[in-house]
Amino acid sequence: MSHELHIVSFDIPLPSNYGGVIDVFNKLKTLHQHGINITLHCFQYGDRKPNKELNNYCKEVFYYNRKIGFYGISATLPYIV
């Protein structure tokens, strides 16, 4: 039986240089070591760019643009989406 997991990260977890992404990246590594197939969905904004090293731990990685500030406000969706 194969185990598969989808993980959503509100930021790209590499480089892992602050608390939230350190936690996500460490979980990715540990789950991968235990044979879990991971599909990572992460939001991209600011100066963080897609990182090919994530493909070493994830079966697939999807990046979504995140609008911040005034452009991120919606009457029907939460701010992060």
Residue 34 belongs to what domain range?
4-72
Residue 80 confidence (pLDDT): 63
For residue 79, being part of any structural domain is answered with no
| Inside any domain, residue 40 | yes
pLDDT block averages, 10 residues each, the chain of length 81: 88 90 95 96 89 96 83 70 53
Considering the domain boundaries, does residue 38 fall inside one? yes
Q: Is residue 81 part of a domain?
A: no
Rg (alpha carbons) of the chain, rounded to whole number: 14
In a domain, 77, yes or no: no
pLDDT, position 20: 87
pLDDT at 28: 96
Amino acid 68: pLDDT: 72
Identify whether 63 is part of a domain: yes
Cα–Cα distance, 25 to 29 (Å, whole number): 6
Q: What is the domain count for the chain?
A: 1
Output the domain CATH number for residue 48: 3.40.50.80
Distance CA(76)–CA(57), nearest Å, equals: 34
At 51, is the secondary structure helix, strand, or coil? Answer: coil
pTM over 0.85? The answer is: no
Reading the block at residue 80, the tokens are: 């992060």
Q: What is the rounded distance in angstroms from the CA atom of residue 40 to the CA atom of residue 5?
A: 8
In a domain, 15, yes or no: yes
**What count of other Cβ atoms lies within 10 Å of the Cβ of residue 77?**
9
